[in-house]
Structure 1
Amino acid sequence: MQAIIALLGSGLAAGLVAGTASCTAVQGGLLAGVDGKVGWFLAGRLGSYTLAGALLGWLGSVVRLPPPVRAVSLVAAGIVVIVFAVRLIRRDRVDCPAPARPGIPVLVGAATILVPCGVTVGMELVAVSSGSPLGGAAVMAGFVLGSAPAFALLGFLLRRVSRTRLARVAGVVALAAGVWTIGSGLSLGGWLPEPAAPAAATAGGSSATIWATREGYRPGFVALRAGVPVTLDFRLVDRGCTGTVTIEGRDYALPSIVRLPPQPPGTLRYVCSMGMYAGFIRFAQ
């Protein structure tokens, strides 16, 4: 029982300290479509996270969604946010909108498990390592409860704004958030065009050291030799989204040494777990 309480406490602390800023930034736009039913939204979020934690504790990493599925989920979530944003922008009257049915906010809240912030990924790893359904459920439930006050405040502000002419301003902000979310999904899925290599980049050795910071990966562009085995030494500077890197459809929790087979000439993209930050490796002869 003490272990369960400790896991609940760690999830609660992570939600209060880190999840408040991280998850509200990534998932907060979905609140625009629940018409003030924040309580139902949080109930759906608590239920899906607790269930996911229990499954992760029971089955381990088998339950973890592969990067392509998470990428599609991000794109879908961005489209949903854009639809809600357009509703706000096109609203002609400033009176109180018709209340949404509880089922819709619950489903939207439950769907946030498919749009995890960087801290959520860390909590999922803790749930996996707990080795028990109860432990996994405790840490994920604690995380949701810890971030709940921030979501409640954000929902209250969105509700107040929706009753004024600032609703269109909120709609524009939500629209930008939706576009950004779609971009993150496209980046995570590797569906964005590859950038041109810097003029100064020349083929280097077969290994590189890359530092993961809160602002991205440093260096962001590495030149290595094609046709030879590759070793990438990812070192963690700050905890956050960049703490998990996705390369060729596989996730690596940092710090980690990633070994790749010989690569053909071209550019290899790697991204953080949310597709927010990307780095590039240019392979040349």
Structure 2
Amino acid sequence: MSTATLLAGGVAAGLVAGTATCTAAQGGLLMGLVDGCHGRDPALVGWFLAGRLASYTAAGALLGLLGSAVSLPPPARAALLVVAGVTVVVFAVRLMRRGHCAVPAPADAPSRYKAPLLGAATILVPCGVTLGMEMIAISSGSPVAGAAAMAGFVVGTAPAFALLGYVLRRVSRTRLARLAGVVAIAAGLWTIGAGLNLGGWIGGTPSSAVTGPGAQTVTVWATREGYRPAVVTARAGVPVDVVFKLVDRGCTGTVTIDGRDVALPATVRLAPRPRGSLRYVCGMGMYTGFINFS
């Protein structure tokens, strides 16, 4: 696939699929630009987007050059989601405590440095569509093509981030800042929960060993609302092929199962397992499914 095609495809993916999911997952980092009186300069949103473009382009080039060698494993992504969620909560609390400023102060040098750094940090909080674009960059086998795919994706999502930045700046000048802070805290807690879910650090089901002959197949459908059926049953002690069929493009298009990321549609072969439950999640930790072995 040509570089121009990957660039255009990235723009289309950002406009059509990435706008909602990425602004929801990463938009909380914009709270750092409306913290206090120095976040009112509209140019700071531009710096934020510039930092985002730089980090995504560099990541795309590395992915195209080195392939999966630079892809973060699920536990590392889960830890980053937790850290990002905590950061969003901290920004939100500081915004609520500061209140509004009668006279907005001009952006200072530290703010101009912070804006691109926050934008660059969005690469550490991938949305579902971002993971799909990263896999495209890996499969391209070219640093130029990988960079083009990721850069196009950032360009496609830029209008939504610019609009969100404008809304946040306007809200921060009013009494609605407290309401915005509450919403941001909720988003931060949701991000923390997604990270804990992705890392498998929420709950757990004990199991006991069992063996048996034969093989089996179970089918799971990936939709925008989650995995259907959410719980499937398989026999313990025998191999199982989990056939993931993709209904809609979105977060569920990438599944983390048995410690590995898989782009859907795909069939995942699992070795014989003991009695108990195996949990799998989407690449963002938002949606969960279970395979009960009995």
TM-score with structure 2 length normalisation? 0.89
Offset, 1:29? 1.1
Equivalent residue letter for 1:30: L
* Aligned match of 2:86: 79
Give a deviation string over 1:38-87, Cα, whole Å, max 9, x none: 11111111010000000111111111111001000100000000001111
* Aligned match of 2:191: 181
How far apart are the structure 2 equivalents of 1:189 and 1:153? Answer: 32
Q: How many percent of aligned residue pairs carry the same amino acid?
A: 68
* Aligned match of 2:51: 44
1:257 counterpart (253, 262, 267): 267
Mapped contact 1:8–1:142 kept (Cα < 8 A):
yes
How far apart are the structure 2 equivalents of 1:78 and 1:3? Answer: 37
* Aligned match of 1:201: none
- 1:123 equivalent to 2:136? Answer no
Equivalent residue letter for 1:272: C
2:2 aligned counterpart, secondary structure: helix
Give a deviation string over 1:222-259, Cα, whole Å, max 9, x none: 12221111211111111111011101210111111111
* Aligned match of 1:277: 287
* Aligned match of 1:171: 181
- 1:145 equivalent to 2:161? Answer no
How far apart are the structure 2 equivalents of 1:130 and 1:158? Answer: 37
Q: 1:113 to 1:25 in 2, by over 3 A?
A: same
Give a deviation string over 1:136-182, Cα, whole Å, max 9, x none: 11111111011111101100110010010000000000000000000
* Aligned match of 2:124: 114
Give a deviation string over 1:93-144, Cα, whole Å, max 9, x none: 4433674521212111111111111111111111112211111111111110
Q: 1:233 to 1:164 in 2, by over 3 A?
A: same
* Aligned match of 1:200: none
Q: 1:147 to 1:92 in 2, by over 3 A?
A: closer
Equivalent residue letter for 1:7: L
Offset, 1:92? 4.0
Equivalent residue letter for 1:189: G
Instruction: Report how many residues are paired.
Output: 275
Offset, 1:195? 7.6
Offset, 1:90? 1.6
2:226 counterpart (216, 219, 224): 216
How far apart are the structure 1 equivalents of 2:83 and 2:262? Answer: 24
1:88 counterpart (89, 95, 98): 95
Mapped contact 1:79–1:182 kept (Cα < 8 A):
yes
Structure 2 runs not aligned, ≥5 long: 207-214
Structure 1 runs not aligned, ≥5 long: 197-204
- 1:68 equivalent to 2:78? Answer no
Give a deviation string over 1:17-41, Cα, whole Å, max 9, x none: 1111111111111101123421111
Q: Which stretch of structure 1 is more off in the superposition, 91-100 or 166-175?
A: 91-100
* Aligned match of 1:101: 111
* Aligned match of 1:248: 258
Mapped contact 1:94–1:165 kept (Cα < 8 A):
no
